[in-house]
């Protein structure tokens, strides 16, 4: 038994000192800013944007982290644009809104199918034409809000891909703004920073689709800014750069706290694209000043999902096995008390939740092959997080 725990502690110690950036193959399209990006399964995507010659784009590129390579895909069928919104729902990607090269604000909305490599026009965005909005998905729905259509906006809309219908939801809880940033974690969405009538902001807000309500959370940990980049990994959100800065922050949705992480290793940057694939985050493109646009692309490896101190003190309290798994996952704890285990798919949507004492087994026969995230909690908070793979 002592040998087993020694191995576990060594693994935890090694993982806890992650939190670093690795440069990957540069984005293969033209250097640009105000592009959009999202991930579907194990691939990432970047498209649209504007370059230093003020040429707008509708090209679209796929990134494969396994081969560290880019492949050009079918162009967005809509007009070239910049300052648009992009997100994914399930196995499809979506791009809409933005501005074209003739100063026209846009509200058309398009669906991308990576299997057929085709675009299908969907119902136009429900609000006004705009640039600089924020978009994310929660579960089976997409959301777009804030932005600029000649004046700053705070309206907020939900897209149902099954019915192809937009429904207006409660207005964003903060002030009207544009060039904010956002992400989603599990069953909640988050929007913050950006530019309002008073200048750059640092407030952050959580949207709960179940109650159609906004709740103000802790202010962003860094200075007020616009043009930041964001993504989520597991139950944490990550926000950084913007306003020509390097700083990068983790938001813990369970403790409502911001923690500064390793600075972004690329150039201080505005309007870059951010997304996550599994347990890694990615940021690329953007600009720092007029005619200084970027193609570089960086991968972020987070620290252990609980952090160094928590890992050393807590993570050994629970053992999750086997990994890879097939028809079940076993969770065993060292103490006899009430615990809760949650299982998330790769898009951070919660698919399982159960309370238990000491040990339990999750029946996973119905799950598709792939990567899943888990979280084990007791009354004091999270004691273990990680990823497991069904083979």
Q: Name the domain boundary from 244, 277, 301.
A: 301
Instruction: Report CA-CA distances (Å) from 378 to 125, 236, 252.
Output: 42, 18, 16
All residues at 6 or more sequence positions from 22 whose CB lies less than 8 Å from its CB, including other chains = 298, 299, 301
Q: Is residue 86 predicted with pLDDT exceeding 80? A: yes
**120 shares its domain with 134:** yes
Number of separate domains in the chain: 2
For 57-80, the pLDDT digits (tens) are 999 999 999 999 999 999 999 999
**187 shares its domain with 316:** no
Q: Is residue 347 predicted with pLDDT exceeding 90? A: no
**220 shares its domain with 320:** no
**256 shares its domain with 350:** no
For 220-260, the pLDDT digits (tens) are 999 999 999 999 999 999 999 999 899 999 999 999 999 99
Q: What is the pLDDT of residue 98?
A: 98
What is the pLDDT averaged over residues 104-117?
98
All residues at 6 or more sequence positions from 205 whose CB lies less than 8 Å from its CB, including other chains = 172, 173, 174, 190, 191, 192, 214, 215, 216, 217
Structural domain containing residue 385: 2-13+308-390
**46 shares its domain with 152:** yes
Nearest in space to 386 (alpha carbons), one of 3, 1, 12? 12
**60 shares its domain with 146:** yes
What is the pLDDT averaged over residues 129-139?
97
Q: What is the pLDDT of residue 304?
A: 54
Where is pLDDT greater, at 129 or 361? 129
All residues at 6 or more sequence positions from 154 whose CB lies less than 8 Å from its CB, including other chains = 145, 146, 171, 172, 174, 175, 176, 177
How far, in Å, CA of 37 to CA of 293, rounded?
Answer: 17
């Amino acid at each position: 038994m002592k040998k087993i725990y020694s191995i576990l502690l060594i693994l935890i110690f090694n993982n806890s000192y992650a939190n670093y950036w690795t440069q990957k193959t540069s984005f293969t399209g033209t250097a640009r800013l105000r592009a959009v990006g999202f991930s579907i399964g194990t691939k990432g995507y970047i498209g649209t944007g504007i370059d230093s010659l003020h040429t707008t784009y509708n090209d679209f590129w796929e990134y494969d982290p396994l081969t560290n390579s880019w492949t050009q895909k079918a162009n967005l069928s809509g007009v070239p644009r910049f300052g648009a919104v992009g997100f994914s729902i399930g196995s499809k990607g979506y791009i809409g809104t933005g501005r074209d090269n003739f100063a026209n604000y846009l509200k058309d909305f398009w669906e991308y199918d990576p299997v057929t490599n085709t675009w299908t026009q969907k119902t136009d965005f429900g609000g006004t034409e705009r640039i600089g909005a924020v978009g994310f998905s929660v579960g089976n729905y997409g959301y777009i809000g804030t932005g600029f259509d000649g004046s700053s906006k705070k309206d907020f809309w939900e897209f149902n891909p099954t019915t192809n219908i937009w429904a207006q939801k409660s207005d964003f809880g903060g002030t009207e703004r544009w060039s904010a940033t956002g992400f989603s974690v599990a069953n909640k969405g988050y929007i913050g920073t950006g530019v309002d009538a008073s200048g750059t902001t640092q407030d952050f807000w959580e949207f709960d689709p179940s109650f159609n309500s906004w709740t103000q959370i802790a202010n962003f940990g860094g200075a007020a800014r616009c043009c930041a980049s964001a993504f989520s990994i597991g139950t944490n959100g990550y926000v950084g750069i913007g306003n020509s800065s390097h700083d990068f922050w983790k938001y813990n949705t369970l403790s409502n706290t911001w923690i500064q992480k390793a600075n972004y290793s690329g150039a201080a940057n505005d309007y870059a694209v951010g997304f996550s694939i599994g347990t890694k985050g990615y940021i690329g493109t953007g600009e720092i000043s007029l005619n200084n646009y970027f193609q570089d692309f960086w991968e972020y490896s987070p620290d252990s999902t609980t952090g160094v101190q928590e890992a050393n003190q807590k993570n050994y309290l629970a053992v999750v096995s086997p990994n890879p798994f097939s028809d079940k996952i076993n969770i065993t704890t060292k103490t006899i008390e009430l615990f809760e285990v949650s299982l998330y798919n790769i898009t951070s949507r919660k698919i399982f939740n159960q309370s238990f004492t000491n040990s339990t087994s999750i029946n996973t026969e119905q799950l598709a092959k792939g990567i899943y995230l888990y979280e084990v909690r007791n009354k004091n908070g999270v004691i273990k997080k990680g990823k497991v793979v069904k083979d």
